[in-house]
Structure 1
């Protein structure tokens, strides 16, 4: 088979920190629609959606990317260390539905492709590309999801992994999970981990700004609180992308304080080591006194970095 030459700036990373949870059965879509912030009905348009499961107080239990594999199967791609929690929190409600949860960590391998020629490399194996960002295509049980024109998730059946690697491996350079998480942070896309279970509301993670909340879809667990914050409240806390110099990564949930008075003003959502030897992170913070924000135990204040979307603050201005 002829394999087209592509740029070596394309990178491949095995995302062993991610896994798939399948919801299977005739009630799969109906069940999830009543549990999560995104509109599950939109998945039938061959798009994926970011979303969250909340507790009755509107605090996030689980973050995910959802894809409808067929009329009775919806997949949630989520952090691998959240699988046990997901089985528990979703399992409490699914007993009343004609659907079952299936831990698919042995069935699929999650891979990431990124770089200038990522679309060309993806087409080597999948033959075509998704219609746009958040869209997906499938080939022989493998799934290709476009996150950006130069960035893709690949969900590969374990039995097809060798074939996939033989096709795309020679066209790519290896990358790390840290590299991939840098891209998530740059995109302003947050995940919830065991350390931040029930710590944030969806809006405190900017989910309303990345199409992870649908305010018209109807009721779901925690919806009343989430909707009230949207329609009646003035959000005083958002997620910001920042950096600072340090040798040790802060864990998710690490407090962020006001350096001038020591008061807690938020928490770390996720963090990576940047190429410049700094710590780059997403932090959920009160909008006031951002210039004074400092990770607890750090020796310098946080420096603000750009996000690809604007943050509307309580006074109506954009950050």
Structure 2
């Protein structure tokens, strides 16, 4: 749960803007939270637990990563933020916090580190739209120019997570003032607008029903630099590497749009022959219809004509992927 005072403040704001490319939108990130990790073994411990190469992590470079079971199944997807050499923040969805932390902490008793609940200390904001960078510069920020780069200004962490899209993590005592400052040059919007942008960017958003179900490549994590294939061993590495270099990928993550006004996570997707070819992981309600994120079989996606919930359900139109998936992952013969 986010800081209660912050929640009360946000509930008083007029979050009325909609996902419109012509607007610069300011959104709260109430469904996300930070976990603190400190100690001399923090980096080395996570290096053996996460799919990303933590040698690339720095105070200027954040990382996306997954934590897997020994069978290579994803338990959580995280964004890593380094504050100091031995002080990190892990950003993850509140919906998977309990199982995510349980899996991450499993072997940490043997390492010199401490896990800290910092939910009341930080508040998250999202800023996106054509004027996002200029608005940040006007507010005194040194906006990062490269994807996943980060900067700090007066204790506030700013991360570039997409073209004209920035994630801000602010000390709680500064959050209200920062919101009001940025709101002067933007439109306040509900978090669903940020979630819609995440779906369009092809960034997976897991809930508790979707963990321990997918190998990282099924969530397109290798396409967003969340998986390293040359860093050495980590939990689940053998399975992940085998699929990348010898296996055949049969399902992957897609964004999609439907005219249905409300979609439940876990809803099945069916093709025109009535076969179940996918499952909804996440959705964001729009002014008209819904954007959804689903893991779908490659064959089902190629055939098209997908329906929501049943063969007679609402039509689902897939979005183009914003990155390339290696074609050879789908072309290898069955083993």
TM-score, with length taken from structure 1: 0.90
1:294 aligns with 2:310: no
1:106 and 1:187 map into 2 onto residues whose CA distance is: 29
- Extract unaligned runs of 5+ from structure 2: 1-21
1:315 aligns with 2:315: no
CA contact under 8 A between 2:268 and 2:278: conserved in structure 1?
yes
The aligned length equals 306
What is the CA-CA distance between 1:108 and the residue it aligns to?
0.2
> Aligned with 1:67: secondary structure?
strand
What is the CA-CA distance between 1:26 and the residue it aligns to?
0.5
CA contact under 8 A between 2:147 and 2:160: conserved in structure 1?
yes
Query: Superposition pairs for residues 172-191 of structure 1, below 5 Å?
Result: 172-191=186-205
Structure 1 equivalent of residue 99 of structure 2: 85
1:105 and 1:288 map into 2 onto residues whose CA distance is: 42
CA contact under 8 A between 2:34 and 2:119: conserved in structure 1?
yes
What is the CA-CA distance between 1:283 and the residue it aligns to?
1.3
Q: 1:136 aligns with which of 143, 150, 153?
A: 150
Structure 2 equivalent of residue 259 of structure 1: 272
1:278 aligns with 2:283: no
1:292 and 1:238 map into 2 onto residues whose CA distance is: 17
Q: 1:220 aligns with which of 225, 234, 246?
A: 234
Of 262-271 and 207-216, the range deviating more from structure 2: 262-271
> Aligned with 1:241: secondary structure?
strand
Change in 2 beyond 3 A, CA 1:265/1:149: closer
Shift >4 Å, 4+ stretches:
none
Structure 1 equivalent of residue 250 of structure 2: 236
Of 117-126 and 60-69, the range deviating more from structure 2: 117-126
Change in 2 beyond 3 A, CA 1:176/1:166: closer
CA contact under 8 A between 2:258 and 2:317: conserved in structure 1?
yes
CA displacement 1:105-139 (0-9 Å, x = unmatched): 11100100111111122123343211322101001
What is the CA-CA distance between 1:45 and the residue it aligns to?
6.4
* CA RMSD, Structure 1 to Structure 2 (Å): 1.8
Query: Superposition pairs for residues 48-87 of structure 1, below 5 Å?
Result: 48-87=62-101
CA contact under 8 A between 1:51 and 1:63: conserved in structure 2?
yes
Of 139-148 and 123-132, the range deviating more from structure 2: 123-132
> Aligned with 2:110: secondary structure?
coil
- Extract unaligned runs of 5+ from structure 1: 1-7
What is the CA-CA distance between 1:171 and the residue it aligns to?
1.8
2:102 and 2:52 map into 1 onto residues whose CA distance is: 20
What is the CA-CA distance between 1:246 and the residue it aligns to?
1.4
